[in-house]
Structure 1
């Protein structure tokens, strides 16, 4: 039998107590309970208690039964383990019923849509699935665990997020990142990769969206594309999974290439500049006013990667007079950058209105 990471459906009707099997075995062999007790050196009362399910069928007893019945001890042990597990599950179900209101915190419809839950019913089965999804024993443990996590989060957002939706989105990202094979992280490898990543901006998203994760995996960075989730206000996240592997998760919240590429290089800055202890959860790193020193550094890094200082004077001229739009096209070609990114920068700097230059912005959206 191979072990699987897939959750198992609980089916108590399929599990019989080991005493039932022992009783049938004795009947087939023509052995009475008293005779079995003499054969294996136990009291008749003890044998009867095993048959009634009142006494545990221990591994030592399983070996004795193997000799008396020629049924392998492993089978007796397995029957006992399955029976006791069922009893504990039934007890747990009663306890979990009291915790069903915990599910009200979560976007159950989104969880159904993303395949975490089969439906959005508030029942014990879905509560179990949620606990398995997060890898925790019960809701109390989950809340205590998240309380310790929050002190390691760095979050930039101008809006109050739904923390539970955020935890779901981040967990989806982490689980996806764990499945991505990466070389051990090296800072030099990531630095060497930056020019190539920047060059991808001029290509269509349909091409770089497949190439980008493989390139970053060579530097120890697991890139995850996770659809935006309502009420999380997240553009990206950075989290170290091991000392040799870091996750950068990106959402399609704004669905435009200018925001996507800024977010990517912003998250890369966290990897390169800000150590391995913190999880960074970033809203709109291009415009958010609530910034820490780390966020300011990451913003500046992204700005300088996309439009390096060597082009600063040219950009200032463009910013002073960005029209006609052929100037934007010429500048983007000159610096080797997607036109939409230049438009996004000009909008951020107030040189263009946010409803101007939309034709240059390439759509970015992640598949379900």
Structure 2
């Protein structure tokens, strides 16, 4: 890589020499001359690429990555300096050090720079760093995302094209897409949702794309706000006496529709929004700007058993975590980590609210895996047969069982509309 104008001129001189040497090799070559020609041509190509990158950075014709991984940081810092029009001396002046020190930093890929110095250089050059942590056992159990403030978000990394395609966002002819997506988020969710006050806790088998997650959350909160404005809601109260009524709705053919209405009566907004690629979501629970609970479902699996379990899991987050001072937004993949204490609490809430532990122990269908046994137990418990069938399939890890009872393709047609409301 070329670091300075002087190095650029030296490279140009060296390139001219190599090109002259190439011209001196005859067109008819033996194998030795062919090897020499190929080696020289490779060097020429490398130098030409370095010079082209430097010229484009100097002229502002190419963007450098403003958000990078730690591994890429040294190179990006050099690219950023050049693109900003700073010489090594200019950067040294801003760092209150001699130019020779900046030269040493860049010549050694900043290996001799302290963490505080790297932070200082990155701040001067407006470079943001993004890195993830994976545990030593390499088994992903989820992630936590947080930004210090909205200005730390690399808005260009949100899935703008997909957001436009889905009708979430419109970009005027002369408007910057990055400005448009930032304005959308601030208007839909508020800048506080991209801060450490709203850390994103993700339960997933795969680490999701945090920018797709942020975009999806903005859409959910946008739809929730519209629903709340159209039908003003009561303030949510931490009172679970109505959960039995919600459980009984599982027996109704239009149970999902009635469930959304009941939740609204109790101060909880239910939004259905398909997940974005890279998010691996089934459901989420969060607080709106007005501190009203919002539950969002993707209906990734359009089945009654999945709908009811995910819904009650998110209701569990509302009662156990959202309203108890644990300031996280919860994003869940149903088959995510099985050891996370917070998620296990929400799982237990869902399982025991739908079927109390003592009642589950007495269910004959746990052992007699027939539709008749499931239907009998469902009648005795006063719940949908899909809930029992789904629980049996999950506990036995056999999703070929009882397929006619899980309510395939029964939810989306009730709850999903073109505009998410």
TM-score range, shorter chain: 0.5 to 0.7
Pair 1:201-2:250 in alignment: yes
C-alpha RMSD of matched pairs (Å): 2.9
Shift of the 228–244 alpha-carbon distance from structure 1 to 2, 3 Å rule, reads closer
Pair 1:279-2:324 in alignment: no
Number of the residue aligned with 1:299? 347
Number of the residue aligned with 1:160? 207
8 A Cα contact 2:250 2:256, kept in partner: no
Kindly provide the CA deviation profile for residues 120-139 of structure 1, in whole angstroms up to 9, marking residues without a partner as x: 99x84322221111118xxx
Number of the residue aligned with 1:246? 293
Number of the residue aligned with 2:261? 214
Question: TM-score scaled to structure 1, two decimals?
Answer: 0.62
Structure 2 residue runs of 5 or longer lacking an equivalent are 1-153
8 A Cα contact 2:281 2:300, kept in partner: yes
SS at match of 1:211: helix
8 A Cα contact 1:156 1:290, kept in partner: no
2:220 & 2:197 partners in 1: Cα distance?
16
What displacement does 1:103 show? 6.2
SS at match of 2:279: coil
Pair 1:355-2:405 in alignment: no
Number of the residue aligned with 2:4? none
Question: TM-score scaled to structure 2, two decimals?
Answer: 0.55
Pair 1:178-2:230 in alignment: no
Kindly provide the CA deviation profile for residues 182-222 of structure 1, in whole angstroms up to 9, marking residues without a partner as x: 1011112xx12211111121223xx3343323321222211
What displacement does 1:160 show? 1.8
Kindly provide the CA deviation profile for residues 303-358 of structure 1, in whole angstroms up to 9, marking residues without a partner as x: 0011113412223x422231x321111111221221221111001110x6212222
8 A Cα contact 2:235 2:267, kept in partner: yes
Number of the residue aligned with 1:134? 185
1:253 & 1:335 partners in 2: Cα distance?
27
Number of the residue aligned with 1:342? 388
1:186 & 1:222 partners in 2: Cα distance?
13
8 A Cα contact 1:250 1:264, kept in partner: yes
Shift of the 341–145 alpha-carbon distance from structure 1 to 2, 3 Å rule, reads closer
1:113 & 1:343 partners in 2: Cα distance?
37
Residues matched between the structures, number: 254
SS at match of 1:281: strand
Shift of the 242–171 alpha-carbon distance from structure 1 to 2, 3 Å rule, reads closer
Structure 1 residue runs of 5 or longer lacking an equivalent are 1-101
SS at match of 1:192: coil
